[in-house]
Structure 1
Amino acid sequence: MDFVTGGLAAAGASIFSNPLDVLKTRMQLQGELRARGQHAVYYKNVFHAAYVVVKHDGLTGLQKGLGPATLMHCVRNSVRLGSYQWLHNNGYLTDKEGKTVFVYSFAASALCGAAGAFFGSPLFMIKTQLQSQASKTIAVGFQHGRTGTLQAVRDIYNTHGVRGLWRGCGGNMVRALAGSSAQLASFAKSKEYLAEYPLFAKYPVLNSLIASIIGGLFQTICMQPFDLVSVRLYNQGSGRKFCKSS
């Protein structure tokens, strides 16, 4: 059940987070393989990026890649969260008193995150390529011309075979190692620490909320450099339909 609930929760959250993911992807691809100051700046910040996307691609432009993104989050997090919770429930991550052992939690978080990243890698690549597609006047990075998830799978498989669907997987697994270990380990320790205070002991939902925020902050900080590399690996071209970002 932990595998199912973890996947469904992440899939539902992706509907609300996908617009921000689109903006993040566009900003990360901006200036790809260009020297500083030698490329056009289409997206100045997250608010300006949102304005530019809506202006040129409409409101639906903010939800590009939603289909594969939802499936990717479902697959990746069902494996990641389900595996971690199974290890925790069976006492592999705690001491004799039931307290989380940071080293065990950190290692398990990293491995579970890498496993989830591996299984979700093809969908992550397709999501990235769909999100990067834009009107010619604001296009950044390689423009693959994808029309949908199934078309992308067929095209990648026919051109590069099964291995092509996992291109860039290594970068994504490193990204997941950094992000997942930081998130789950900091979440578990924060939750235990906060539970020692009467307010958080009385309101466990509040405890989980604050611990989740702390975990998310650690995840973002630790994962960001690897996320940038991962996005660029997934979106790199194969010598056709190249669109310069300047």
Structure 2
Amino acid sequence: MASPTKNGNPPAQIPKSIKFLFGGTAGMAATLFVQPLDLVKNRMQLSGEGGAKRQYKTSFHALRSIIANEGLFAVYTGLSAGLFRQATYTTTRLGIYTSLFEYATRDGKNPSFTMKALIGCTAGGIGAFVGTPAEISLIRMTADGRVPLAERRGYKNVFNAIYRISNEEGVATLWRGCWPTVARAMVVNAAQLASYSQAKEILKNTGYFAEGLFLHFCASMVSGLITTFFSMPVDIAKTRVQNMKVIDGKPEYKGAIDVVVKVMRNEGMFSLWKGFTPYYARLGPHTVLTFIFLEQMNKNYKKLVLHDESSGGGGL
């Protein structure tokens, strides 16, 4: 239950449809800034696949190579898929999370950390299922430039990718790697959304942080670091399953567990965290920007539309 206003009445709540809209819009706005890092992360995770020589030594080497070999604007390859992913996945997960968070708030007291994590898991899993077609399109489009021209898939945009995948490989292929995608999203959202809410509470309780951009920034960076560590092994499994080709009816991997086993055996255990720098460099700012955009949209909607002058974005 929300805290009462000055006149004793409970404040009006942001409609659920608006929460979903703000969630997707915030994610899409953040993607415009971090798409190059997503590209580098995916290329790093696919480097060394199948026992081949690693194409990139470091994240900076990958970025330099991509620009040198494919051109400056190649760093935004797959942007349409990245935006569509946010429009589907992030709209769903943040909309569900903020709605469930509000429902679980009682007498002005926020849910426990365990409840936040459970809500995050639920929101992330549902969002990931909805966003898998965009996810697989993004993985393939960002990976295309690493192979010879004759072997590239050459998708023009996300809608062309979805059409061709469903037409050439079957509609079910759009959900290939769905379960590792869902598992990753549950880990990411349990860690990201719960740790963001918890970090924000802890920082505010120190007395050194007031509600505002700096608090959102610090809470987001803490959340991004925790999320990166726990989600990377699942993410590399997801990336390779969704990028794999089926040759003569035989897929490169049997599933996510097969990816993890082969990576550990052929590339070493720490390869499960390959691309940690671009992953965090992408996830950290993306988390920061998404939550900042979301908080500001919520805050301004409450102020301008609901005429609620209380501080805070409300909902996270």
Q: Where on the TM-score scale, by shorter chain, does this alignment land: which range?
A: 0.7 to 0.9
Amino acid at match of 1:145: G
* Aligned residue pair count: 231
1:89 to 102, 109, 114: 102
Distance, in Å, in 1 between the alignment partners of 2:243 and 2:217 is 34
**Which residue pairs with 1:230 in the alignment?**
238
2:206 to 168, 193, 197: 197
Distance, in Å, in 1 between the alignment partners of 2:85 and 2:101 is 24
Distance, in Å, in 2 between the alignment partners of 1:155 and 1:77 is 24
* 3-state secondary structure, aligned to 1:42: coil
Structure 1 segment 143-222 matched on structure 2, within 5 A: 143-201=152-210, 203-222=211-230
Amino acid at match of 1:153: I
Distance, in Å, in 1 between the alignment partners of 2:152 and 2:49 is 13
Amino acid at match of 1:106: A
Amino acid at match of 2:39: V
Structure 1 segment 108-127 matched on structure 2, within 5 A: 108-127=119-138
Q: Structure 1 residues 49 and 99 mapped into 2: Cα distance closer, same or farther (>3 Å)?
A: same
Distance, in Å, in 2 between the alignment partners of 1:63 and 1:49 is 14
* 3-state secondary structure, aligned to 2:208: helix
| 8 A contact 2:180–2:238 mirrored in 1 | yes
Distance, in Å, in 1 between the alignment partners of 2:141 and 2:232 is 20
Q: Give the alignment's TM-score, normalised by structure 1.
A: 0.88
Superposed CA RMSD in Å reads 2.0
Q: Which segments of 5 or more consecutive residues in structure 2 lack a partner in the other structure?
A: 1-17, 249-316
Residue 97 of structure 1: how far off its partner (Å): 5.3
| 8 A contact 2:85–2:131 mirrored in 1 | yes
**Which residue pairs with 1:243 in the alignment?**
none
| 8 A contact 2:181–2:235 mirrored in 1 | yes
Q: Which segments of 5 or more consecutive residues in structure 1 lack a partner in the other structure?
A: 241-246
Report the identity percentage.
30
Distance, in Å, in 2 between the alignment partners of 1:67 and 1:128 is 12
**Which residue pairs with 2:35 in the alignment?**
18
Distance, in Å, in 1 between the alignment partners of 2:197 and 2:47 is 36
Residue 96 of structure 1: how far off its partner (Å): 4.8
Structure 1 segment 103-142 matched on structure 2, within 5 A: 103-134=114-145, 136=147
**Which residue pairs with 2:25 in the alignment?**
8
| 8 A contact 2:35–2:76 mirrored in 1 | yes
| 8 A contact 2:20–2:96 mirrored in 1 | yes
Structure 1 segment 55-70 matched on structure 2, within 5 A: 55-70=68-83
Residue 147 of structure 1: how far off its partner (Å): 3.0
Q: Structure 1 residues 205 and 151 mapped into 2: Cα distance closer, same or farther (>3 Å)?
A: closer
Residue 71 of structure 1: how far off its partner (Å): 1.1
Residue 33 of structure 1: how far off its partner (Å): 2.4
Distance, in Å, in 2 between the alignment partners of 1:51 and 1:97 is 50
**Which residue pairs with 2:305 in the alignment?**
none
| 8 A contact 2:84–2:158 mirrored in 1 | no
Q: Rg bigger for which structure?
A: 2
